[in-house]
Amino acid sequence: MSPRMLPPLPLPLTTFALLLTLLGGASGCGGTAVSVPTTDSGVADVPDAPRDVPVVADLGAGCRLSDGSFCAAGASCPSPDGCNTCSCGPNGSVQCTLRACVDAGAPIVCGGSVGSFPTFDRSCRAATDCFVGTHQTDCCGNSRAMGMNVSQRAAFEAAEAICAPMYPACGCPARPPVADDGNVGNFSTVIAVDCRAGLCTSFVPGM
């Protein structure tokens, strides 16, 4: 008696579907071709980054001095006048010392062909910050009335006391002082001073 043959077991549905897909692809029929685009037309092109944009360094908190130099917050830095020192406060305010400035190694010289006299701080916020100092400019006794910060009075008077005796007596008449505004009054005119655009400026009243 021949052995009894058992019927083959049915393939699971998922396996059967996979075989059909493979056979159909191999024979060129029975499958659905799916094309995959090589580019995504829905994505916009990203423009190139600009190449000529300057890179600005982040210097942190600090102050800009009058010559454009940077002073970090809480630091002390050389003043643009070359002889004073400035400090930068936490709120961006600048405070500078107010010493009279004379070129390094150049003493006060008056009366010669080449003179050397200090410059003085003229900064102000109001007219009360200012005074008028009279500086002799030649041997005739001509002078200039200069507006300066009141903190400079002692330094100016000390420098002028050195300067004036250096002029010889020329015997020529002196003219009235010239004010910072370029006007000349007369000897009976009292030259006044005001704070103009942040600078102590002397002027002849009424002109």
Contacts of 19 (CB under 8 A, 6+ apart): 11
Q: pTM score, two decimals? A: 0.52
User: CA 15 to CA 148: how far, in whole Å?
Assistant: 102
Q: Rounded to an integer, what distance in angstroms lies between the CA atom of residue 136 and that of residue 113?
A: 15
Alpha-carbon dihedral 72, 73, 74, 78, rounded to 10 degrees: 40
Q: Is pLDDT above 60 for 168?
A: yes
Instruction: Tell me the pLDDT of the chain averaged across its residues.
Output: 76
Residues 13-55 pLDDT 10s: 444 444 444 444 444 444 444 444 444 444 445 555 445 444 4
* Cβ neighbours around 195 below 10 Å, total: 19
